[in-house]
Structure 1
Amino acid sequence: MSSSTAVAPASRREALFGAAQSTYRDFVRDKWLAAGTALRFTGGRLAASLGELDAVLGDWADQRIGDVREYPSFVSRDGFPLEISVSWRGGVPELRVLFESLGAVPTARAAQDAGRALTRSLAGRPGVSLARYLAIEDLYVVEDPLPFRPTVWHSLAVRAGEPPCYKVYLNPQAHGRRAVPEVMRETMARLGLSRAWDVVAAGYRDLAAEGHQLEFVALDLADRPEARVKVYFRHTGRVDLDRVASLARTHDPVLAGPAYRDVHGSPALPANEPMTCLAFRSGRSAPEEANVYLRLAGEVESDADAAARITSVMRRFGIDHRQYLDVARALAPRPLETTTGLHELMSFRTASQRPDVGVYFRFAVYDTPVDGAHA
């Protein structure tokens, strides 16, 4: 997910990927194939996942990327509307793509409309349910959405032995920051999560004053009882990484501490806008899990430096770091020692004694970040 333009000066760089003549579809297929091959997906599974990817990308993906961005997507600092990530849960990798659908014209309203249409097109797929999304959609769409802000985004995730998973991302700031508490109160009431949300809402004003800004809401588009509602906070300034995460039942600051230090040193008080996601499930009286996203932009000297820090975390907790390195090298346009900016985030979740780790890759195709303040 995007870092704000406050981070951009530390990350100014020439484009890593010469993609102007490619279509969005061909570009992301190439990267998906590279990552899936590095993860040793079987031929059949890789082909099936490419089919899912093609199906979820709309006609917009057949546009040429071009030398100049026409629409600045908030997915990336340079306005590119796609990112790929890999998460290791229980040691098993999950390959994912996050994207914003582009509209027929290069406006935020057109992108919002395209995202809404894509959500509806997923109805009827095995295991997919739109009921929770449709119950809250009106809280998150507006007549004139701001440019370079989230609209209606989606992700596709593929993991061995499981059907494809879809998620939708929404912007709780769509009506302005002052409206966020009311938007969240109504969202959680409609989703039957008011009791669990009260744990967060009781301290929301203090969290916001300390620099913890609520930026995304995401829903698993699934009909399973364990389907999550995820709430993402961006941390501005030098903040305690456990402040929001400790609201979750399974977060363990003692277990998380070494991962923070492997990435950020000691004391781990990064100022490059890390994030925390709280996951809510039906029937629970508090947030269930917390994912802490440690931002690498502005922190590392090169992608090799980022890889060394991520590898340290993975080795510490018994995750196959060689598999991760294969993915990073497969996605990089040049040796990792010669690039900066491919690695954006490392996520860390202490849901068990074997934490889950994720790595988020960005594809800078334009020469400069998007100008403008992070609203």
Structure 2
Amino acid sequence: MLGAALPAWSADVIGSTPDKPSYVAGDGFPAEMSVNWSSGQPELRVLFDCLDDVQHGHSLISAAAQGDVREGIHRFFTPEAGRPSSAPLWHSVAWRPPSRLVHKTYFGLYEWPEDERYAAVDEAMARLGMAAAWENARARVENADGKREIEFFAVDLAGEADARVKIYYRNHGADLAEVNRIASTALRHDTGSALAAYRTLAGSRADAGDAALSCLAFRSGVDGADECTTYLRLSDLAADDQEAVDRTAALLAGEGVDPARFRALAASLAPGALEDSRGLLELVSYRASGRRGDITTYFRLPVFETSAARRLSPVDLA
């Protein structure tokens, strides 16, 4: 199923350096693997950058949306709608057995000026019937302290009533209290459990680390952001992958999830001893909206030599 979804680059031989570095991973590799640990049964996710094969990505959107209003949403992120360029397109597949495969698409807005990002999001949210919810959430977020920017717009490609539309903010110089305030703009958010989770992941630090992300999720019929997921960058907050894994395992255990499978997965993906690597477990996210153990671990696989490609940022790509 994954093979059918992958873009044309999946047939290329991997060399020592990426032909076209992707923003997905620090070494430029265009894919990541993540696992959500809630509900007693892990959900496996594989996310990949479509790179130059954007048309294939748009075809996936249309096929997966199956006539839903989301089917034509990609047009708002192309020059066809007046944008300065086509937004980088990422696609993911997620599977929690025995449920069916779920498709998700992410539009990268980081290459555009800020006003173009908002114009695209405003038009897309209006098309989806969520303009009022977005206006409400945006006002609450942008009245909060700190500096942040919209970086991604994402959609769940499904017709179900609980299918989400997601808007990702990248925070700059935020502390844990600030990312908790952003998350609390969502209608469903437990500030106490969220702050405790962030502190477990951050260790002795009070800051949220480099470029923490806040993802606001919107659903039809909800007058605002329904929930918020906070992503902390463990490659910055922890000294090495062993420390990152240990902190995440402690968080999982505290949420009632046996961390044994997570530890086994991390060890199997590491190129050597976990204490000798950093950035394999790049991000850990936590969502405090009523479901225990709603933790996702994001693995960036060490494919290229780190000297071969530097970490990209919105400033580099602007």
| Superposition TM-score, scaled by structure 2 size | 0.89
Q: What's 2:33 paired with?
A: 84
How much identity, in percent, do the aligned residues show?
A: 34
Within 5 Å, give how 1:83-232 maps onto structure 2: 83-102=32-51, 111=52, 114-121=53-60, 123-124=62-63, 128-129=65-66, 131-142=68-79, 145=85, 151-173=88-110, 175-203=112-140, 205-206=142-143, 210-232=146-168
| Kept in 2: contact 1:140–1:174 (CA 8 A) | no
Contact 2:28/2:311, CA 8 A, preserved across alignment = no
Is the 2:168–2:215 contact (alpha carbons within 8 Å) kept by the matching residues of 1? yes
Size of the aligned set, in residue pairs, is 308
CA contact (8 A) 1:100 1:115 kept: no
- 1:175 deviates by 3.9
- In 1, Cα distance between equivalents of 2:110 and 2:71: 18
Matched with 1:333 is: 271
Distance 1:184 1:66 in 2: 37
CA contact (8 A) 1:86 1:93 kept: yes
Q: 1:145 to 1:80 in 2, by over 3 A?
A: farther
Which residues of structure 2 form unaligned runs of 5+?
none
The offset of 1:145, in angstroms, is 4.1
Amino acid at match of 1:186: E
- The answer to whether residue 179 in structure 2 is matched with residue 250 in structure 1 is no
Q: Matches of 1:205 and 1:259 in 2, distance apart?
A: 24
Among 30, 54, 79, the alignment partner of 2:3 is: 54
Q: What corresponds to 2:253 in structure 1?
A: 315
Q: Deviations over 1:119-140 (max 9, x none)?
A: 3146456xx4364344432221
Q: Which amino acid aligns with 1:221?
A: L
Partner of 2:314: 374
Task: Summarize the Cα distance change of 1:58–1:178 in structure 2 as closer, same or farther, 3 Å threshold.
Answer: closer
Change (3 A) 1:165 1:187: same
- Residue 238 of structure 1 is matched in structure 2 by 174
Alignment match, 2:198: 260
* Partner deviation per Cα, 1:273-307 (whole Å, 9 max, x = no partner): 11111110001111111111111112212211111
Larger displacement relative to structure 2 (339-348 or 181-190): 181-190
* Aligned CA distance change for structure 1 residues 116 and 204 (closer, same or farther; 3 Å): farther
Q: Cα distance, 1:186 vs. partner?
A: 1.7
Change (3 A) 1:260 1:158: same
TM-score, structure 1 as length reference = 0.76
Q: Distance in 1 between matches of 2:105 and 2:212?
A: 21
User: Which of 297, 312, 315 is the matching residue for 2:235?
Assistant: 297
User: Do the aligned residues in 1 keep the contact of 2:235 with 2:241 (CA within 8 Å)?
Assistant: no
Amino acid at match of 1:222: A
1:80 Cα shift?
Answer: 0.7
Q: What 5-or-longer segments of structure 1 have no aligned partner?
A: 1-51, 103-110
CA RMSD of aligned residues (A): 2.2
Equivalent-residue separation in structure 1 for 2:141 and 2:44 (angstroms): 33
Is 1:249–1:289's contact at 8 Å kept on the other side of the alignment?
A: yes
Q: Is the 8 A contact 2:21 2:29 kept in 1?
A: yes
